[in-house]
Structure 1
Amino acid sequence: MKYFTFIGFLLCYQISISQHDSINATLLSNKVYENEKRFENCTNKACQIKESFLNAEYFLEEDDIFSSQNWLDKTKNLISLKEVDTTTVFVHSLQSELFYYNGLHQFAINEADKALITAHKLKDSLLISNGYFFKGINLMELNKLNEAEKFLWKSRNFQPKNVQKTYLRSSILNEHIYNNIAQLKQHLKQTDSAIFYNTKAYWYAKKSHSKRGIPNTEQTFAQIYLEQNDTENALLYLNKSILSAQKSNYFDVVLVNYGLMLHCYLNNEEKTNLWFQKALDLINEKKINITYQTYFYEIAIKAFKKSNQVKNLTFAQDKLIRINEDISLINNSYIQNITKKYFENENKLLKQELDLIKNQREKQIYFIASVGLIIFSLGIWFFFIQKQKIKNKEIITLQQQKEIAKLEALMDGEEKERMRLAQDLHDGINGDLSYIKYHLSSIEYESLSNENKTLFDKSIDMIDYSCDQVRNISHNLSPTTINDFGLITSLKNYCNKLEGFHPIKINFQHFGNDIKLSKNIETVIYRIIQELVNNIIKHADASEAVVQINSYDDNLFITVEDNGKGFESSQKNAGIGLKNIASRIAFLNATLEEEHNANGTTFTINIDLNNIPKT
């Protein structure tokens, strides 16, 4: 668990750093000498604060914990931790990160709480969200899973809404929040929930083009499937994760994936030796963080124990022992020094806190009196404003009801027309074809020449094929299975039938709760998916497509994805099918997200079941 949360922690911290004008994150790549020289050349306090903090963050990135803590202590001595500004939040956050990195999770939680206090005073929702995220992942390490989940959801709820400049940063943080919730659910053996939330994390990672988030979420999928002994899907996502990570040069992720590969080939010693050697070569070739080496050897040891590979097991255990000895020597000295400093500083801050509380109480008395007078003055004005708002809401509600009724009438008319056409096809053309076949069958077959017999047989086959085609068109126009078997069975049958008539593999998946909706709503959802799949077959030139439905609590999450070429913008604007999809999405009060790239097209639909119209 720690491997994944640590990655999320580092990335989210870098997100929050990018908000602060006085701390320029682009300097993190400078050499150590250049960083220290910058600090020495500072001629004012503001410059010293900026450079000492950047040095602390830089040395943490380089895994030099002692140097990072020393530079952070310099920053603390230059500022007042009681000041309400973003620098204070960053200092507490980085101290929390240092504690987290060394396993001092309760200390890390205390620092996250301090960061949250200042972030709430600043009313900075992104910094508040980061603080709750830090607190949640440390509680996960303490195995307090219920509390951890509560704070991870708080982090999600404090994400900025409709702010363009923070959209990308929010998407990346959402990816890490949902990924950690998925791991938490996996730890609780709630597989469906783990898949559901990791699907959301994967969507956010792809939406923000997160170079690290995409291989991480793919790796989480692989771990979930490995726990379910689903080796086929585990291998699928491991290969995806390896390619994504190699493309972005995240070789630590690649190393962990190599370790997970060992669990996919427990009964094949030749392949486990191959993947193990690949991992050892990667460790020798690349500068991989010692934390990820530790995690890899822990995974490898578990695999070799299961497969009883004594030689590899002994080698991996020896490596892990040496690494842990090195880590212990470094961490023990750090922990002794920092805990002593921490408690000395806490006593000093406690006295300052008591003085501050006294001054704040006096200010609060004056403030409450002033607010009371303002509230009383605004009371009557608010009463009249509220009455006007109620009237406006009634008008908007009536307009919405008229729009819903209009859309429902249009779709109802369309369904009736489809049923009429299906009936005409079935009773008319199909009956005529059967009548023609009957008359042809009355011809004396034996009296025909060999050439005419061949033509006769081809004619009968063509009539049979035409009957099947008409029957399939009739069923597509009016899917009676929805009334008899429900939405999921109808969609599964539909995808299976299409594979028989088109050269494309359509994989239908359903996770989560059973779907129980009115037949009218289920038909609308069926039509949306049918239109999307038809577009893939007609325009995408795809060899494979996935239709996935996740139903959890009061949400329905639909993904339709293909590996084709997508379609041009002119096709998108002119397509009647996409306009029909848009009208049905509007009727359901749902949202539709699209992504088009060289690897294919993805449509993601999110339906709040509490917000669909009552029909």
Structure 2
Amino acid sequence: MGNLSNNSHGTIRRALLFLLVLLSGNCLSLTAQTVEDRLPRTVTQPRTSKKNVDSLLKLAGSKRDTAAGTAMRLYYTGMEDARMLRYNNGVARALSGLALCYNNNNEKDKALSCERMALHYCENNEQGIAVRVDLYILLSQTFYYRGKYDSSAFYRYAALDVLEANQVKDRRMQTRVYCSLLDFWLNINENISNDMHIQQVMGHINTLIDSARIKKDTAALMMLYFYKAGYFNNIVQNDSARYYCSSSIQMGKATRISPSMEAGLLINTALTYLDDKNPAPAIHYLEKAKALFPQLDPVTNRHQIFADILLGQAYLMQQQYNKAITITTPAMQSAHKRNMVHLLTARGNQVMADAYEALGQYKKAAEYRKTYSVIRDSMMKVEKLELVYNLEMRYRIADKNKELAEKQLAITRNESRIKTKNFLIIGVSAGLLLILLVSILIYRNNLNKQKLQAEKIRNLRQELQISNLQAMIAGEEKERSRIARDLHDGMGGTLGAIRTRLSSIFRRHTTADVTDDFREVLHLLEEASTELRKTAHNLMPEILLQEGLAKATALFCERVRKGHTLEITFQVIGNASNLSSGAELTVYRIIQELVHNILKHANARHAIVQIAYYETQLAVTVEDDGNGMLTTSQSDGIGLKTIRERVNSLNGELHIDSVPGQGTSVHIEITLKQNTASYAYKISDC
């Protein structure tokens, strides 16, 4: 049997693969899904919303491959409903669907008319841009069918221009456009592996594949794999082509792949096996492709015609010559009736010629061989014509770039004139702005200096006030110490001497008349001595000097509890920190004053005194359940004013929380590090 040359065989193989894409009809729609196989209740019933129109057009798309007549009626109905609603994008989509139906029926003029009309209805919004892109791709297919390869290329790049002009980032729209460009360059160039345009488009497709994998966009991946399989088949890497076909079919099961799409993938897979001279699996895939469509009217289905011609080639490889003739003959007749492109009839005539030659019917073989030669010569002319159109298209692109460059140069010159005219204004404005900026900086600098000076004055005043308070408290403590020593050493000693002398007189001169009087006088002297010692100890408690704040406060609370009806509780939290003796004395005086206020004014039954030592802080809390008090500083008595002054002298904070009838809580916080560093006098000075 005769064979094609490698060059012509590669050309026909690429053309066949391109036809598969065109035959898929709605192949370029990434959202094609199986819709419930039923018509709406009343096809002619007007739709009341855009949503209903969209549903009707979607249903029409699902019928386009298996029931073309029904699909066209649905498209016309949807178009009228969209016009009633003034839904221009819906009208454009309906006309686009009709164009696909007319293309499938080989009515190219009607298809072209619908496509051009649809362009006028595309709205200037996101959906309208998507419809316009699809229409440009559809126009490119129609012109390719008509042999207008320059127009086909023009509309493919027009679709790309729409994407770039509107900065469309939608992955599926980009997929449709770049896959369409790949189709064109695969079928117009001979040296596919090294073609710059193909490599550029493949770079975009690989980027889209990576993006679709990350986003798990199965529908986009299915389409991208379909075209990548075609690329690998064209460069005769059939294992890779089969891998991507198989992957695309598997993805299609999850997304309800359209029959046209699945048939195209199955036929593409069969082509790879035919290229490998392995007819058995090719027959298997071709039969699966034919089974996707109804058998009632096989002549009207392009996929079945294509599959039958390829089946004839497969049977020819298996030397089943009669079977090859039987299945190829009606397919060839159907292809002629539908005026399908030469590439199908070229392969069919080659199959028929080889089959008759093998059977010894040389006359018929010669007739088919002659027809095949005529078609082959015509295809070679087409190939040369494609190269001419390719050069013309590149010239148009270069001419367009030149025009854009000239416009850009004119714009640049105008901008230069404007810059020259406005240079002085800009310079003056910049100078004024600089002066204003410097003025603002100087003003802010002076303002900051004033704030810093005011802050320093406030700090000095505060330090002076604290020093005065500390000096006043130191004077008070010295006076208390002096009075305590005078009471203890003076009055205390005198009372002790009087008590001793009276005791001696009582023992020497006891009589019945004076015994009780002496005893009463001695008892009063004992009480006076005791009270004097307490007063002296309160004025200058020795235990504070010896044992520290906690034990001195505990002893003070114990004395209060024994001498009064107030039930007072003392608590210590933490371990005593490095607090100066002067600071301890001040805190002790504060606690004394607070407890004395409770005894004098609160009428409380219970009170709590708590000292809490933390790492850098001393907290003192005194609470009672008495009458409560006003908490404003204007209502402070002498006692509270004294307490506030002592707290301020320690750089501490005083918080009073009181509710009338519910008691009072006084909380004092003193920072130990600041206090121990700033306290000015020592108790040993007193």
What is the TM-score of this pair, normalised by structure 1? 0.43
Higher relative contact order (CA 8 A, sep 6+): 2
Largest Rg, 1 or 2: 2
What is the TM-score of this pair, normalised by structure 2? 0.39
